[in-house]
């Protein structure tokens, strides 16, 4: 199942799988996210960080076509994003919402069967990533722990053969141990499947440990962005941005990359 880039197959693809270009989006014509520039390539993980109300969920909703853009553009898999969520889902642009999107009254098996696609991955394919689910197939989803439900939510998303996977607060309500188990799995899946992932995550350190790049949003603006390796070494700066203490250069509010040195 592995298609990860190796030394024999150098990555030549430079086009981002998802490109947000000056994206302004909100509710009832009022922007909640302004002039956001961000991109993520196949096989890469972009961490979208920021406090409550920063605009993270809004960004993900826009990226699946659930919210109309007010200005700017979204290009997904080389084409402008469709305005219909279902059309985007068919193209492999899949959201795992923070509510997890699992049916509590149904069994694990039935949850998965409902998500299966005709020529898509099989249940066995996804059990390879989440072997614990295999032994829970007959269990009612509502009886699973939070971490197990998140595994199921990810497994359901994988059955849709995502090319762009948008994951909203995977760790909401989970124990640190459960989060530490799930995020590396997501990294492995992104590598194996060459999937572009946008990960909204409250655990900054964990997110940066598996991401390739990150954007910190505050009040709908990107106040910091950069490679995860750089940002890992600048925890002070990330936290300052998180709490809105970093001023982006005027005229380029989304380009607040790390200063040299």
Positions in the binding site for Mg ion (CB under 5 A): 56-57
Nearer to ligand ADP, 41 or 218 (CB): 218
Part of the chain binding ligand ADP (CB under 6 A), chosen from 15-23, 56-64, 203-211, 235-243? 56-64
H-type alpha helices, the chain? 56-63, 85-90, 108-115, 123-129, 131-134, 146-159, 176-193, 204-210, 228-232, 235-242
Contacts of 51 (CB under 8 A, 6+ apart): 218, 242, 243
Q: Out of ligand ADP, Mg ion, none, which partner does residue 92 contact, by CB within 5 to 8 A per kind?
A: none
Part of the chain binding ligand ADP (CB under 6 A), chosen from 49-57, 88-96, 144-152, 170-178? 49-57
Distance CA 4, CA 193 (A): 7
Contacts of 25 (CB under 8 A, 6+ apart): 31, 32, 33, 58, 59, 61, 62, 67, 68, 69, 70, 72
Contact status, residue 231 vs residue 204, Cβ threshold 8 Å: no
Contact pick of 15, 22, 53, 71 for ligand ADP (by CB under 6 A): 53
Nearer to Mg ion, 51 or 120 (CB): 51
The torsion defined by the Cα of 236, 232, 63 and 105, in degrees rounded to 10, comes to -100
Q: Which helix (H) or strand (E) is 259 found in, with range?
A: none
Nearer to Mg ion, 19 or 56 (CB): 56
Part of the chain binding ligand ADP (CB under 6 A), chosen from 16-24, 53-61, 207-215, 226-234? 53-61
Site for ligand ADP in 21-40 (CB under 6 A): 27, 32
Phi, psi of 50, rounded to the nearest 5 degrees: 150, 160
Q: Out of Mg ion, ligand ADP, none, which partner does residue 243 contact, by CB within 5 to 8 A per kind?
A: none
| Residue 54 sits in the site that holds ligand ADP (CB under 6 A) | yes
Q: Out of ligand ADP, Mg ion, none, which partner does residue 54 contact, by CB within 5 to 8 A per kind?
A: ligand ADP
Q: Out of Mg ion, ligand ADP, none, which partner does residue 52 contact, by CB within 5 to 8 A per kind?
A: ligand ADP
Contact pick of 42, 45, 57, 179 for ligand ADP (by CB under 6 A): 57
Least distance to Mg ion from the beta carbon of 51, Å?
A: 10
- Report how many residues bind ligand ADP under the rule CB under 6 A: 10
Least distance to ligand ADP from the beta carbon of 45, Å?
A: 18
Nearer to ligand ADP, 50 or 65 (CB): 50
| Residue 58 sits in the site that holds ligand ADP (CB under 6 A) | yes
Site for ligand ADP in 186-245 (CB under 6 A): none
Contacts of 180 (CB under 8 A, 6+ apart): 206
**Beta strand 79-80 pairing with 164-168:** unpaired
Q: Long-range CB contacts (< 8 A, 24+ apart) of 248-252?
A: 248/221, 248/222, 248/223, 248/224
- Which residues in this chain contact ligand ADP in the complex, by CB under 6 A? 27, 32, 50, 52-58
């Amino acid at each position: 199942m592995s298609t990860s880039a190796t030394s024999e197959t150098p990555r030549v693809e430079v086009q981002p799988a998802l490109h947000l270009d000056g994206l302004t989006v909100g509710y009832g014509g009022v922007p909640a996210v302004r002039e956001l520039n961000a991109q993520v390539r196949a096989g890469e993980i972009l961490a979208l960080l920021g406090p409550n109300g920063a605009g993270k969920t809004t960004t993900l909703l826009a990226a699946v076509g659930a919210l109309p853009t007010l200005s700017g553009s979204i290009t997904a898999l080389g084409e402008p994003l469709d305005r219909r969520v279902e059309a985007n889902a068919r193209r492999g642009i899949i959201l795992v919402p923070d509510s997890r999107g699992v049916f509590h009254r149904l069994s694990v098996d039935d949850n998965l069967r409902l998500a299966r696609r005709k020529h898509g991955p099989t249940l066995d394919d996804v059990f390879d990533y989440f072997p614990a689910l295999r032994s829970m197939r007959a269990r009612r989803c509502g009886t699973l722990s939070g971490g197990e439900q998140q595994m199921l939510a990810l497994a359901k998303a994988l059955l849709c053969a995502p090319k762009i996977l948008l994951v909203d607060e995977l760790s909401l309500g989970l124990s640190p141990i459960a989060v530490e188990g799930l995020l590396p799995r997501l990294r492995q899946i992104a590598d194996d499947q060459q999937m572009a992932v946008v990960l909204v995550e409250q655990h900054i350190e964990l997110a940066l440990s598996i991401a390739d790049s990150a954007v910190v949003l505050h009040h709908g603006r990107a106040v910091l962005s950069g490679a995860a390796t750089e940002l890992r070494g600048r925890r002070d700066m990330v936290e300052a941005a998180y709490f809105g203490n970093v001023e982006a250069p005027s005229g380029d509010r989304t380009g607040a990359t790390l200063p040299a040195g």
